[in-house]
Structure 1
Amino acid sequence: MKIVVSGQMLKYQVRNSSTSRSSPSSYGTASPSSSSSNGSQHDVTLLTTSRSNSLVSLNSLDSSGPEGDWGVLKVYTSDIRQCTDYKTIRVSTKTTARNVIEMVLTKFKLTCRDPNLFELWMELTTKAEGKPVKTILRLENDAKPLELQRCHPAGMSRFLLHMNATGTLVRVYDHNICAASNYKSLMLSSLTNCEEAIDLILAQNRKSREESANYGLFLTTPEAEAQIPPEVSIVSVYVLSQPQHKIVIRPLDSL
């Protein structure tokens, strides 16, 4: 059986006897629909999309207590660490998808990785003509995963942490804050701003992120330099820079 939905399409294979499991990486490539090869399985073409309007409305729900109700999420992580199938974390109805991403990265001791490179996906299982159909939703950063999970029967939804492949390798010279280092190479999202990049560099140098306000990033040449504003995307600066340009981090009090 084939189900075709307009928009970006993904091929997902379902067996009649049980629901097949796939890592998040299998959802990231568009593919044409194909016919069933035998009676025991069928291909379903699914749409990858952001949350529907009904899911968006859940963000405005009031939860009891200042921290909301608490529960448990199982986040499948084989796309991040192949040796680990999933991580179980305790969250509240106030916990956002961005919070979940950061919590899982912390559990894996990946605090030096750019969280903007990661996405939290929700896989929903429904029935169509008696057959299981899976739909993947890419959650926005402010989505509330526990609230979304409670909208579906147990076992009919799950969460997957996915790393997208749109990062840019940026070289930042950090000799002003670590004498033993010349530069750090960071894989950054185009969404990552100067302030967030400083946090990552400090983490790599084992310095507290609470000190980030004391540091700045500068675009330098042999003749001049300019401080990069905190809200500016570092990738946008890096891709437009010339060979003689360097991005340098240093304490602001050294000016």
Structure 2
Amino acid sequence: MLKHVQLSPFRSRSDTLSLSSTASYSSLSPEPLSSRSSSYSSLSETSPSTTIKVYARCLRPDIEYKTLSITFQTTCREVVTSLLNKYRMRLRDPNLFYLTMEVTVRKAGVRTVLVLDEEARPAALQSCHPRGDSRFSLQTRRGGLVKVYDSVLMPGSKYKSLLISDRTTVDDLIQILLNYYNSKERVEQFSLYEVCQSQEYQRKLHPDDCPLQVQNCWVSTLEFHFLIRRNLHDLRPRRKAPWTPELPSIPSSSRHHVQEEEQQSSSSSDLETSRLSSSSCADYENYFYI
């Protein structure tokens, strides 16, 4: 006997059917739905969130694991940030951490460890394996220590020593400090400068430069440090300029030489003044003198 089937006017999806009789969906479908497809539909529609267990002993020796409630759209990057926020580790660089997934095939006795990308979704990966056959762990990358003078962010602070990764950018570093001080200011309002005390100059770094890579090119870390300054025109668009690890050294006496040239040029003609000022800008546009 045929059963009457009609579309429900209260559903937005065209593939959802409303049965006016007591017949089940399996009696209408020629083939029953597989268990995997039915479970996926249940997770994506009725249960948008799930829990994962992340072993995070690398954060502190007393932390074995942390259970997090996440959605199927949560990325590994967001999981790392959530863990650091829960344990109030605001000075920790998120780029120093990454997630691994250990998958065990019990019948074959094989165990595989996968390094997850930052955009990978742990909840979706966990749903592809039986419960208990997968395990997430927080791992650390090698980094380096940088000293940043940040009195512009907090008047009572002199500097902060931060452990960062070699791929952490200038904007990432400034954002870590802003989060530490609970500041609502934007990253674009500040810039990071490379300061050399012996040669008395400051060089502004591009937002995409990596401070740890810049520091690795220093001859002596005692003569250099990083300084955060507030931008006078923070709304000006930023242009990416090629960063050169080796810059020509400028002795402190060159500053007096530039001042003498400027005094001499003031008594010259306008054409000579234009020529000298354009040459000066071409040679010293990347330097800010103390």
Counting only pairs closer than 5 Å after superposition, residues 1-255 of structure 1 correspond to structure 2 as 69-127=48-106, 129=108, 132-164=109-141, 166-204=142-180, 206-208=181-183, 210-222=185-197, 223-243=200-220, 244-253=223-232
3-state SS of paired residue (2:106): strand
Distance 1:209 1:196 in 2: 15
Q: Percent identity?
A: 33
Distance 2:151 2:233 in 1: 13
Whichever structure has more helix as a proportion of its residues is 2
Give the number of aligned pairs: 190
CA contact (8 A) 2:178 2:185 kept: no
CA contact (8 A) 1:80 1:162 kept: no
Unaligned runs of 5+ in 1: 1-63
Equivalent in the alignment of 1:57: none
Distance 1:125 1:203 in 2: 38
* TM-score for both structures, normalised by structure 2: 0.60
3-state SS of paired residue (1:135): strand
Deviation at 1:83, TM superposition (A): 1.4
Root mean square deviation of aligned Cα: 2.7
* Range with bigger deviation, 238-247 or 70-79: 238-247
Distance 1:233 1:197 in 2: 9
Deviation at 1:215, TM superposition (A): 1.1
Opposite residue 102 of structure 2, the aligned amino acid is E
CA contact (8 A) 1:199 1:209 kept: no
Deviation at 1:174, TM superposition (A): 1.4
Distance 2:134 2:185 in 1: 37
Cα 1:159–1:117 shift into 2, 3 Å: same
The structure having more radius of gyration, on CA atoms, is 2
Structure scoring higher RCO (CA < 8 A, sep ≥ 6) equals 1
Unaligned runs of 5+ in 2: 1-42, 235-290
Distance 2:227 2:117 in 1: 32
Deviation at 1:144, TM superposition (A): 0.8
* TM-score for both structures, normalised by structure 1: 0.67
Deviation at 1:128, TM superposition (A): 5.4
